[in-house]
Amino acid sequence: MTKAIEIIKMPRLHVLKAIEGLTIEQLNIIPAGFANNIIWNLGHMVAAQQGVCYRRAGEATMIDEDFWNTFKPDSKPERFYDETDLEKIKELFISTLDQLELDLVSKTFPNYTRFTTRYGAELSSIQDAVSFLPFHEGFHIGYIFALKRAL
């Protein structure tokens, strides 16, 4: 495993372990003062990684349009996410990183579209995108732990 992917994958595995034992109802709770829930944050991490790395490069993603629209930036939980949704998110949580690792070796992502994130980071290559992911994911992991404490 490359170091860059390991840096992203290890916290994701830690989050999956931390939510073990929470019910699907708890994962869907939006506590007072919060804008979303734990399960939405998990799905958003997958969608954001696919968007920042693949969509910006004009490459096919591992998620369909419905998943993208449900969890993309500026979306919010619009419905109750069930066990089937959770299993899909958990599978994509790791498989998307495994595929990204393979694609980083086999693809050059030559059509990466430069953009500036809402946090002010300018990304102009796939390498920039991969370097940005730990920051973005750390933000959402912190949010997940705050949501868990608020349950």
pLDDT digit string, tens, across residues 95-138 = 999 999 999 999 889 999 999 999 999 999 999 999 999 999 99
Cβ pair 139, 17 in contact under 8 A: no
Query: What is the rounded average pLDDT of the residues 69-89?
Result: 97
Phi, psi of 127 (to 5 degrees): -65, -40
- Section 12-32 average pLDDT: 98
Pick the CATH number of 3-150 from 3.40.50.2000, 1.20.120.450, 1.10.340.30, 1.10.10.10: 1.20.120.450
Burial (CB < 10 A; 0-12, 13-18, 19+), residue 102, is exposed
Q: 115 has which bridge partners?
A: 123
- Tell whether pTM > 0.75: yes
Please state, in angstroms and rounded to a whole number, the distance separating the CA atoms of residues 125 and 128: 5
What is the per-residue pLDDT for 1? 66
Judge whether residue 140 has pLDDT over 70.
yes
Amino acid identity for residue 89 in this structure:
I
CA distance 31 to 47: 23
User: Residue type at 77?
Assistant: P
Do residues 97 and 5 touch, judged by C-beta distance below 8 A? Answer: yes
